[in-house]
Structure 1
Amino acid sequence: MVFFLTTMDQQGASREFSLMGDLEVACKLFDHIAKKGHILLKASVVDGDRSSDIPLESFYGPASWPVIEALEREWSNILSKPINIRSVCARKLPDMISRRVERHQACIFQLEQAVVLAEQRLQRVSATILREPHRGRMLHQLEGVLNRHQQNLVTERASLSKFLDQATH
């Protein structure tokens, strides 16, 4: 690989040069240029018969150092202050409780609808199929479905009740 670079020094003088090597060597050179206070204006690489421009925004230059340093100071400041986990939890807890209650309520609503539909099917089959050979098996299956929905509904209501008791204490 051959790298072609255009730089500008602190006095504003432009300089062009090339470097033969791999990407790691080039990156080290780019960092060295930035640390010297020079600006990398253009960089391209030729590898075999292909040529590509190197995106300069991926390397630090003098223009980005103040921004990076400010960001580093901000993060250091944030990370140096201990957080009170109880206050974080206290802020987030009401929203989390509300969402969980909404999920329980939605599940209860769906189970109530499922129980109503299962009851209607059971009544319809009981009323319309009087002497079919499979009537007993169909009724047994529908009763099983109804019982499962009813049990799930009881469990979900109990779970919501227990959660609300725990959340208020």
Structure 2
Amino acid sequence: MYTQIKGLVKITVIAKNGIRKRIKKNNKIAKKTFNLMDILNRIDTYRVILKIIAEANESLVLISPYVKLNNELKKCFVNCKAKNKTLIFREQINYDDYKFLQSVGFSLVRNFDLHSKIYLNHNEILFSSMNLYDYSITNNLESSVLLQQNEVKESSLKVIQEILKNIRK
């Protein structure tokens, strides 16, 4: 739950002990203020992932520990015009998905320490809880934060580059 307050967003934590609870307006459970940004739900997160893939023309980096592709993702990958495509994953990908990703030009990198879910092209960066996994896309409670790369501070870009560098090892 969030409300806009003079350019800021007040976010009320609605989970306690792993149980979602309905919160009344005046309830005082862990409130914290963050800068305004796009916070997306599961459906919007998936739509943005598809958009990031579709609009990639220079490079595309997808970081997801778990990967199980649906037909919509496969169609999007086939039509992706990115020159450099990388998928970084942790758990074994089924053989058909692995061969498919290779056939559409992906460099596949396995990292056993991976937990991050980051999707980016030349223009946008999505930090997400969603894996590229069919079950996650259709069932899980997911959220993400979308940033335009021109809105990201230079120091933050260096942090992202460092994450990518360490993941690829």
Same-fold status (TM-score > 0.5) = no
Q: Which has the larger radius of gyration?
A: 1
Q: TM-score range by the shorter chain?
A: under 0.3
Bigger strand fraction: 2
Bigger helix fraction: 1
TM-score normalised to the size of structure 2?
0.19
Task: Answer 1 or 2: higher relative contact order, Cα 8 Å, separation at least 6.
Answer: 2
TM-score normalised to the size of structure 1?
0.19
